[in-house]
Structure 1
Amino acid sequence: MGDTTLPRTYRGEPGGKARWFNAVLISLGLLLLELWTLPAALWVRLSIGAVLVGVMAVLLAASLRSVTMVDHQGISVRGLRGTRLAWTEIHDIRTVPVPNVNGVSNPGPATCVYAYRTDGHRVLLPRVDDRELANLPAEVTALRSLLEERRGPDWTPDPEMEAHIARRAETFDRRFRFFSGWKFAGLTVLAIAVVVAFTGTSTGY
């Protein structure tokens, strides 16, 4: 079952933010390099580059406050924005692999963890990944044990939820493959994936 003590906080190890900062710089550098080779006017490339740098700067700022907190009432996520989930609002907690784009290796974590809400949407749990935690499977097992315990014996899952989650996942995968079909767009997806994986700035698909 693993350690199920409460409260528990995931802020990442001391060197985690430095690794994340380097990963984002690498992704942004690849993105800007690819942007520079596009057959477009200089002012167009500079404008797009300025927007990308601005967006990444905002997401970098969010990384300074990204954290997952678990207590007796539920799970709180803080990234670009905050999200609070009561235990009874959570259908399941699962690991999800972070995909590569066009054969470019993702410099961030290879596996992240999501809390799936009872409405089918999912919420990323920042700092709960295989780069921050030495034994991610054991930690996920502990979180799922807490979920079962805190929801209580009267909680019953929606029988349609698994099909709903599967449809959303299929839609997400289809969109991801579509956008990663172009090299520049693929690198953009990679950059955003790195940021999301470290900061929890996405609250669902």
Structure 2
Amino acid sequence: MAVVIGNCLLQLTRPDHIPVRYKLLAPAVIAALLVWAGLAARRGLTSVGADGVTVRGAFRVRRRAWHDIYDLRAEERPKQGRADNRWLTWLYDNDGRRFLLPNVDDWQLPDLRAEIDELRALAAAHHGKVWEPRPEVEARIRVRAGHRKAQERAIIWALLAFFAGGICLVWEVTTDGEPHPFLLLLCAPLAAYALLLPFFRRLASRAPAHT
């Protein structure tokens, strides 16, 4: 990552016809990503207490009381290398929403399954009953999973539109054309996202449900 960032900054220092205001965009994005990654690594944690589960990220703190928690599940990350954590733990609430539990994974914990079983037992103790699946909550989880997948696809296409707009912007600047950064780097990606999100959601709603 350091080599890639260093090469990017080096290319920005080369003399060319690109105005300085456009060159400052890439370092600003890189700096924002580094700040977010540093805060997420330093602040991210999962804490469990008598009142429920608290999840702290880079900027947000979310809490769920035990009576609002539906389930805790370990889900495998596809296509991950051996050096990365392959299993992540998600908290599902009664509305079908899920929240990632930072550091509750197979990289930080030697026996992730036992840890989740212990958390489930703790939740059951506060609920006063053993956990069992509820069809209405499972249906909400499937619907939200479809919406999440549609959003991911729309974001990918918006990023492709952003990179295509960046290429067009560089072409316009280097050929002494009239640049349109607002249109190419903001309006086009947002339009692609807004148009494709309902389309992908419609496709997800027509897909067969999986248990």
TM bin (shorter chain): 0.5 to 0.7
Aligned position for 2:25: 47
Give CA deviations for 1:68-123 in whole Å, capped at 9, x if unaligned: 111222111222221111100101101122345xxx85964221111111122111
Aligned position for 1:96: 75
Structure (1 or 2) with the larger CA radius of gyration? 2
Distance 1:49 1:84, change over 3 A: same
Aligned position for 1:173: 149
Q: Which amino acid in structure 1 is aligned with residue 75 of structure 2?
A: V
Aligned position for 2:86: 110
Counting only pairs closer than 5 Å after superposition, residues 20-169 of structure 1 correspond to structure 2 as 26=1, 44=22, 46-80=24-58, 81-100=60-79, 108-153=84-129, 159-169=135-145
Shift of 1:167: 1.5
Distance 1:156 1:142, change over 3 A: closer
Could you tell me which runs of 5 or more consecutive residues in structure 1 were left unpaired when the two chains were aligned: 1-25, 186-205
Give CA deviations for 1:139-196 in whole Å, capped at 9, x if unaligned: 11111121122111399875411011111112223433454577899xxxxxxxxxxx
Secondary structure class of the residue paired with 1:134 = coil
* CA–CA separation in structure 1 for the residues paired with 2:161 and 2:150: 18
Q: Which amino acid in structure 2 is aligned with residue 47 of structure 1?
A: L
* CA–CA separation in structure 2 for the residues paired with 1:89 and 1:32: 46
Aligned position for 1:16: none
Aligned position for 1:197: none
Secondary structure class of the residue paired with 2:141 = helix
Aligned length: 155
Distance 1:47 1:169, change over 3 A: same
Does the 8 Å contact 2:124/2:130 carry over to 1? no
TM-score (norm 2): 0.58
* CA–CA separation in structure 1 for the residues paired with 2:152 and 2:105: 21
Secondary structure class of the residue paired with 2:115 = helix
Distance 1:63 1:184, change over 3 A: farther
Does the 8 Å contact 1:67/1:78 carry over to 2? yes
Shift of 1:65: 2.1
| Percentage of pairs with the same residue | 32
Q: Which amino acid in structure 1 is aligned with residue 32 of structure 2?
A: G
TM-score (norm 1): 0.59
* CA–CA separation in structure 2 for the residues paired with 1:152 and 1:86: 14
Does the 8 Å contact 1:74/1:85 carry over to 2? yes
* CA–CA separation in structure 2 for the residues paired with 1:33 and 1:142: 47
* CA–CA separation in structure 2 for the residues paired with 1:113 and 1:58: 21
Q: Which amino acid in structure 1 is aligned with residue 86 of structure 2?
A: A
Shift of 1:129: 0.6
Does the 8 Å contact 2:52/2:66 carry over to 1? yes
CA RMSD of aligned residues (A): 3.8
